[in-house]
Amino acid sequence: MVTVTKGSNTLLDINFHDTSEISVPPKLIDQILGQEKAIKIVKKAAIQGRHVLLIGDPGTGKSLLGAAASEMLPHDVMEDILVVANPKNPNNPRIVTLPSGEGKIRVEMAQERARKEEGRRNMLSIFIPILVVLLVMMWAKFDPQIVPGALLAGIFLFMVMNSMRGRSEILVPKILVDTANVTTAPFVDATGAHSGALLGDVRHDPYQSGGLGTPPHERVEVGLIHKANRGICYIDEVGTFSIKTQQQLLTALQEKKFQITGQSELSSGAMVRTEPVPCNFILIAAGNQETIRNLHPALRSRIRGQGYEVFMDKVMEDNITNRRKLARFVAQEVAKDLKIPHFTKSAVEQVIYEAQRRSGRANFLTLMLRDLGGLIRTAGDLAVERGHQLVEETDIIDAKNLAITLESQITSDTIEKYKEYNLVRIKMGLVGRVNGLAVLGNTGGIVMPIEAAITPALHSGAGRIYATGQLRVIARESVQNISALIKNYLGKEISNMDIHIQFVGTHGVEGDSASVTIATAVVSAIEDAPIRQDTAMTGSLSVRGQVLPIGGVTYKAEAAARLGIKRVIIPIQNYGDLKLDKQYEGLEIITVSHFSEVLRNALIPSKAFIADRFKPDTAIEMEEEEDLVVVQKKQNTSSNPTVTT
């Protein structure tokens, strides 16, 4: 039994023994967490028959929304679709639509007629040769010399009649879409389907002459868009379809019917083209931000003009209501899996803590629920292995170390190599070398040493910045921005210097969260000031020295701790985002808002004075807007207005 507890300091304000006491909603739409905006739009789309484009990260519930939409569609308007032979033009089979369940009845009736006709023809093919043999033998008065010839003639006649018995007279309709046993509107997942599976196809017939071939209408194969008639066609990563396929999909959306023909020009099926086949479906297309660039403009315009575009949320607010929803999510995953035991309350609270941690933001919970579901199943497997009747808190904690992503495994291996070869000298101070922090994927924190060296330029005023490590666009631009900061504050002409920046042991760097690290390394190299190697840092940097927030701060800080680093410098705005595991609670976290604070904490104490050169400009707090208007009026009345800074 679930009860509410007031004044509790636990993550959940409800009391229950295990998740078997938490009820799971029967409808899919009620099982979706945190996507309130998307849920409202999908409900409208289901009622009004609108198309929807869902853009967001994997695991946020896009496919579940599509399946939920099919439950809200009426199922009493389902249709059976048949393809029927066309005697006048066999390569243009006819299409017949019937109310749900009647298609199967019509096919069975046609099959029964065909069986009777086949039986009659079989009888004739046997009776006529026998009659001919008897007549010949009677005419020859059963002459023994004539009997063998008559029998051979009868057998030959039997074979001729069977070979001449064509299939044209026993052509049975083929049912393409059968909705006889359907209780809900169809939900068809067409993700990754090739053009033939998506749009329909006509099989090749190697026997096209002599009466041995298969009738064209029997070679027609229905497409997924036709199976989705009166229902939902869900396509994830729709941008991966070829332009031609997207154009054909657009035609199907416009006309609500689409002819089936052979997809290969080298196949005899290309000669067959059916009448238009109904495909009146609601398209729910999905993908990530890359999908927007690869989506055919006309197809996107059709979706936007006759539907909605939705950007999926990655996090939801961390409040009591949403924590209860996460507890229900755990119960849902157990009910779906059917292989793992239910979770205790303390285990559920550990899942909620992990949701807080994975959100990467203070006061939010992650909505990457597929990954969270993987943790739940791994913990359940551990509980089964250990013989536990219920999944306990320790199972969740151990599962976090077992169910880690490939990126986390790679970064862990890299950290072990750093330790083995002593690549990070924690007890030293080194000039031009800084321990940066980065994230591989979404969860793999890694220490990324960056080194800088200064050499004279080849010609006066021809100084350049050289950065190695296959930097990508944003990372290259962040390197260029650092030169402006150094010119403004250091008071040295760097145009006569070549600045060499190396991302040690790292390739393919992207993002600007290493800006603080690069700037610190360059200043250290120019001023010959050693950097504390027991310190790591992360943060974006503006050209005026402001330290800006970044992502993945928890995973970055934990990577530093695993390597043995004692201190981590992070942007002050990211402090609330930190959710360190208990084993890393001894790590010293230093928050900064300006580059001068970074230098003061990163340089060895005897060189900390260099930070004074980068002190920020004095900020003037602006007055209220109404006061500014008044001041402006007064200045405008003055004959010699002055500007105050």
Task: Say whether both 184 and 205 belong to one domain.
Answer: yes
556 is catalytic: yes
364 in a structural domain: no
Q: Is 51 helix (H, G, I), strand (E, B) or coil?
A: strand
End residue of a domain, out of 291, 312, 333? 312
Owner of token pair 């779906």: 336
Asked whether residue 216 falls in the same domain as residue 164, the answer is no
Handedness of CA 540, 544, 546, 548 (dihedral sign): negative
Considering 483, 513, 540, 596, which one is annotated as catalytic?
Answer: 513
pLDDT at site 9:
59
- Give the CATH number for residue 192: 3.40.50.300
> What confidence score (pLDDT) does residue 3 get?
56
Contacts for 456-464 with beta carbons within 8 Å, 24 or more apart? 456/496, 456/497, 456/498, 457/495, 457/496, 457/497, 457/498, 458/498, 460/496, 461/495, 461/496, 462/495, 463/494, 463/495, 463/496, 463/497, 463/498, 463/499, 464/498, 464/499
**CB 305, CB 257: distance < 8 Å:** no
Provide the pLDDT for residue 491.
63
- Total structural domains in the chain? 3
154 vs 148: CA distance, rounded Å: 10
* Same domain assignment for residues 199 and 234: yes
Instruction: Classify residue 171: in a domain, yes or no.
Output: yes
User: Would you say residue 153 lies in a domain?
Assistant: yes
> Nearest 10 degrees: CA dihedral of 41, 42, 44, 50?
110
Residue type, 366: T
Check whether residue 460 and residue 578 sit in a common domain. Answer: yes
As a 3-state breakdown, the chain gives helix, strand, coil percent values, each rounded to 5, of 45, 20, 35
Q: At what angle do helices 473-490 and 515-527 cross, to 10 degrees?
A: 40
Q: Does one domain contain both 281 and 159?
A: no
Q: Are 61 and 167 within one domain?
A: no
In angstroms, the CA 378 to CA 370 distance is 12
Position 25 in a domain: no
Residue 580 sits in a domain of what CATH number?
Answer: 3.30.230.10
Residue 530 falls inside a structural domain: yes
Of 174, 345, 556, 607, the catalytic one is 556
Residues 6+ apart with CB under 8 A from 122: none
Q: Within this chain, do residues 455 and 574 fall inside the same structural domain, yes or no?
A: yes
Instruction: Note the pLDDT of residue 602.
Output: 96
3-4 and 14-15 beta bridge pairing: antiparallel
Give 556's contacts (C-beta < 8 A, 6+ positions apart). 437, 438, 439, 445, 446, 536, 538, 568, 570
Which of 175, 195, 215 is the endpoint of a domain? 175
Residue numbers in the chain where pLDDT is lower than 50: 6-7, 168, 210, 621-645
Decide if 399 is inside a domain: no
Taking Cα atoms as reference points, which of 76, 604, 78, 33 lies closest to residue 316?
Answer: 33
pLDDT of residue 604: 95
Measured distance CA(594)–CA(541) in Å, rounded: 8
User: Do 555 and 485 lie in a common domain?
Assistant: yes
For residue 28, the model assigns a pLDDT of 92
Q: In what order do the strands lie in the sheet with 282-287?
A: 187-189, 232-236, 282-287, 51-55, 307-311
Distance CA 129, CA 21 (A): 78
How many helices and strands (H and E) does the chain possess?
19, 27
Q: With CA atoms as reference, report the closest residue to 172 among 99, 106, 262.
A: 106
Helix (H, G, I), strand (E, B) or coil at 468: strand
Give a yes or no: residue 397 inside a domain.
no
Residues 6+ apart with CB under 8 A from 271: 91, 262
Nearby residues of 567 by Cβ (< 8 Å), 6 or more positions away: 532, 534, 535, 536, 587, 588, 590, 601
> In this predicted model, what pLDDT tens digit does every residue of 206-265 receive, in sequence order?
866 545 578 899 999 999 999 999 999 999 999 999 999 999 999 999 999 999 999 988
Domain check: are 292 and 429 in the same one? no
The stretches of 307-365 forming alpha helices (DSSP H) are 320-337, 345-359
3-state secondary structure of 469: coil
Q: What is the pLDDT of residue 144?
A: 76
Residues 6+ apart with CB under 8 A from 418: 424, 447, 563
Confirm whether 513 is a catalytic residue: yes
Q: Are 93 and 172 contacting, i.e. CB atoms less than 8 angstroms apart?
A: no
| 3-class SS string, 215-259 | CHHHHEECCHHHHCCCCEEEEECHHHCCHHHHHHHHHHHHHCEEC
Last residue of a domain, one of 282, 312, 342: 312
Question: Residues in the chain, how many?
Answer: 645
**What is the residue range of 86's domain?**
35-93+178-312
Shared domain for 441 and 560, answered yes or no, is yes
Q: Which two tokens stand for residue 284?
A: 């729910």
Q: Could you give the C-alpha distances from 479 to 159, 435, 516, 538, in angstroms and in order? A: 86, 16, 10, 14
Q: Tell the residue number behind the tokens 């009747």, with chain if given.
A: 389
Give the model's pLDDT for residue 437. 93
For the record, the structure tokens of 399 come out as 């599962």
- What are residue 53's phi and psi, to 5 degrees? -115, 115
Based on the domain organization, do 300 and 209 belong to the same domain?
A: yes
- The answer to whether residues 563 and 607 belong to one domain is yes
Residue 456 lies in a domain: yes
- DSSP class of 269: G
